[in-house]
Amino acid sequence: MFCARCHREYDAARFCPYDGAELHDAPQTTLFASRPTRRRGEILGDRYIICGYLGRGAMAKVYLAEDRQNLRPVAIKILEPAHAGAQRTRERFLREAQAAAMIGHPNIVRVFDVGQRSDGSPYLVMEYLFGESLGDWLRRERVMDAELAVPVLRHAANALGAAHRVGIIHRDVKPDNLFLVGQPGDPYAVKVLDFGLAKNTAQAGLTVTGFAVGTVEYMSPEQVVSDLHDQRTDIYALGIVMYRTFTGSLPFARIEDDTDILAQHLLVAPPPPSQVKPELDPRIESVILKAARKHPDNRYPTMDALVEDLDRLASDRPLLADAPLQLTDTYEPRGVFARRATTYFYKRLGMLPRSLQG
């Protein structure tokens, strides 16, 4: 049984125990909101019929569709024809399906099928999600209360931890890729989206030296200079997500262009979150700053360790985040390009490279 108001499903009931709405026998596309599209009625793979338009990203559009085999709604993500001819873009697009299949976690969006349209554009058939992204929430509400934010971030960390255990690094963790399932303002589950930039540590070929991947506002120091990175890269990004979620602000601001933000991620310690929001729980601040350390060895070693501290927030147990740092918290570039890039960013901020200090 399906509730059209909150989109929860139940084994047997007449009314939704949560909001009292009358239940339907099964989800139907007519119950879901979508916008008109010229592709309405188009059938993909002799199975999926497009019913409406849901939205778009940088390189793909997403449509509401019905699976004619089981009459259930799905979301279909179609790579735009302008990008479909680029081999690297196609690989990254299809990587989302590969990653979801490898991870198989309830807090990661499910991908049911892949295919290709007659014009050569690949598509992914995914579970339909009702709700909004954390990015949408923060643009509207600005700050999320700890009572809701801690469970949301815990679910996201659990999902990313599952990805890391099978060797997959997301590399683009940000509020817009964390989906809050449920009525806007009242989520009951979290889904991690868009593994298009994910890297499988057992494979090679999608990272190019000198080319940084990710979203500028959430990029780790090692991403900024195109150094090798691991699961702690996602931990840093989630730390920046936490910073914004609890304070309503990002730690680093654009001065002239995005280069200024990248330089600060690499070289400047973030302002204490309590400087932005004085009433913030000091224990939450400790968790945020631990995740967002410059040196990877000073961050949480795994998402499981971060989850452990998020759980400890509800008790008097000491936080892992409060342990003394073992290393000076500066990023040490490893590759030749990374060292050159670091020198450039020092100059960008008018700072003296460490090799020339004192």
Binding residues for ATP: 77
Known binding residues: 77
Whether 137 and 85 have beta carbons less than 8 Å apart is answered as: no
Tell me how crowded residue 203 is: count the other CB atoms within 10 A of its CB.
Answer: 10
Closest CA to 159 of 139, 185, 187, 189: 189
Residue 158 DSSP SS3:
helix
- DSSP labels for 273-303? HHHH-TTS-HHHHHHHHHHT-SSGGGS-SSH
For the question of residue 230 being annotated catalytic, the response is no
From the list 67, 113, 172, 230, the catalytic residue is 172
Which residue is it, tokens 């195109």? 226
Give φ, ψ of 132 to 5 degrees.
Answer: -155, 160
Nearest-angstrom CA–CA distance, 46 and 80: 20
Dihedral sign, Cα of residue 260, residue 266, residue 268, residue 273: positive
Mapped onto helix, strand or coil, the DSSP state of residue 193 is coil
Asked if residues 168 and 195 have their Cβ atoms less than 8 Å apart, the reply is yes
Q: Which residues are catalytic?
A: 172
